[in-house]
Amino acid sequence: MKGLRTILLLTLPVVSTLPTMAQEEEEVAPVIIQVDPEQSRDLVAYPSEAPATPFVAAVLARTTNRFIGTATIHYTRVYHGTTTNWTVKYVSTADSMVLISHSDEPLPTVRTTAILIDRTTKSEVYHHIALPDSTLKHWTRSLPISPYGELFLRDSLGSGTRELLGRSCVKRVHEGNMFKRTAWSDPAIPSLYMDLLSARGSWDAIDHIVVGHALISADDAMPMLVEFAYGTEDRYTMRILDIQPGIVAPEAFAIAKDSWK
C-alpha cells in the first residue's frame, strides 16, 4: 500500500543488495527484519528520524500492558475486487500477549500464524504451520523493532456516538488525499493496539496481521469498528467480535496446532 516504506524480500540473496536509491533519499540505514526464515522472507524497513509525538513517546515508555483480557478481532480486506478474511484471537496479561491469526487464504500464508510477545524477555516468538507435513515451526525476534515512517495516520474526533457490543463508542475520522478512515472506539477499555506498539516499538513484521498503520488511531480508547479505504482499490474493515477484560488462564499462551481450531 502506497505510503508504507517497507519492502518484502522473497529470497535471501536479495537481502544483501539493499536499495541504494532509497538509502540516499531517506538518509537512514535500513533494518532487516526476519518475517519467515522457512520461506526466505525478510523485511527491509527504514526507521523514522522524526521524533515521536508526546503521546506516542509516552506509549513507548510504558512497561506493562493496560488491557488485560481476551478479544476476538475480525479483519476483511478487499483488494482490486479480491476479498481476504482473517480472525485474530488476542490474549493479554500485564507482561505478555499472544495473537493467533487464522486466514481464509490457503496455506502457507503469513496471516495464519501465532505471535507470542513477552515484555520481560523483550522478545516475540513467531509460530506458523509448515507444509507439507503441517508441523509447527517457530523462531524468535528481539524487541523493540525500530519504527518506520509515521506510526499513525492523523485523525480527529467526530460527532455522535454509536453502540457496539453494548458499549458506547466515539467516532474518529481521517480524511486525506489518499486515505479515508472512520473508527468507533470505546474509551472505557484501554486499547490493546497501544500495548502492542508499546511492547514492540513498531508495526513492522506484524502489520500484515493487525494493519496498525492504516487502521489504528493514536488514542488510548479501544477501537471496536474501523473502516479504511485507499481510493477504491484497497479497503479494510476491522471489527471486534468479542472482548472480555479480566484475568486470563496461563494455558492460553501455549501454542499448538489445535490453537487454530
Report yes or no on 138 lying in a domain: yes
Which pLDDT score is estimated for 195?
A: 98
Report yes or no on 83 lying in a domain: yes
Report yes or no on 106 lying in a domain: yes
Q: What phi and psi, each to the nearest 5 degrees, are found at residue 260?
A: -95, 5
Model confidence pLDDT, tens digit, residues 2-58: 344 444 443 333 333 333 333 445 456 767 776 666 666 676 766 777 788 899 999
Q: Cell triple for residue 85?
A: 478474511
| Structural domains counted in the chain | 1
Which pLDDT score is estimated for 150?
A: 65
Q: What phi and psi, each to the nearest 5 degrees, are found at residue 134?
A: 60, 35
Model confidence pLDDT, tens digit, residues 78-91: 999 999 999 999 99
Model confidence pLDDT, tens digit, residues 103-157: 999 888 889 999 999 999 999 999 888 777 778 888 898 999 877 666 788 999 9
d(CA 26, CA 168): 43
Average of pLDDT values for 179-201?
97
Report yes or no on 195 lying in a domain: yes
Report yes or no on 42 lying in a domain: no
Beta-bridge partner residues of 42: 9, 34
Pairing verdict, β 96-103 and 113-118: antiparallel
Which pLDDT score is estimated for 204?
A: 85
Which pLDDT score is estimated for 98?
A: 97
Q: Does residue 197 or residue 108 have the better pLDDT?
A: 197
**% of the chain exceeding 70 in pLDDT:** 82
Give the H or E element holding residue 14. Answer: helix 12-15
Q: Does residue 101 or residue 259 have the better pLDDT?
A: 101
Average of pLDDT values for 183-196?
98
* CA distances to 39, 83, 89, 162, 246 from 86, in Å: 21, 10, 10, 24, 25
CA atoms within 13 A on the CB side of 45: 23
Average of pLDDT values for 214-221?
95
Report yes or no on 46 lying in a domain: no
**Contacts for 44 with CB less than 8 Å, ≥ 6 apart:** 6, 7, 9, 15, 18, 19, 30, 31, 32
Average of pLDDT values for 195-204?
93
Q: Cell triple for residue 155?
A: 485523525
Provide the domain limits for residue 140. Answer: 52-260
Average of pLDDT values for 200-209?
90
**Contacts for 88 with CB less than 8 Å, ≥ 6 apart:** 72, 73, 74, 75, 99, 100, 101, 102, 209, 210
d(CA 77, CA 120): 34
- Out of 110-119, 180-189, 246-255, the most confident range is 180-189
CATH code, 172: 2.50.20
Q: Please state the pTM of the whole predicted model.
A: 0.85
Report yes or no on 43 lying in a domain: no
Report yes or no on 90 lying in a domain: yes
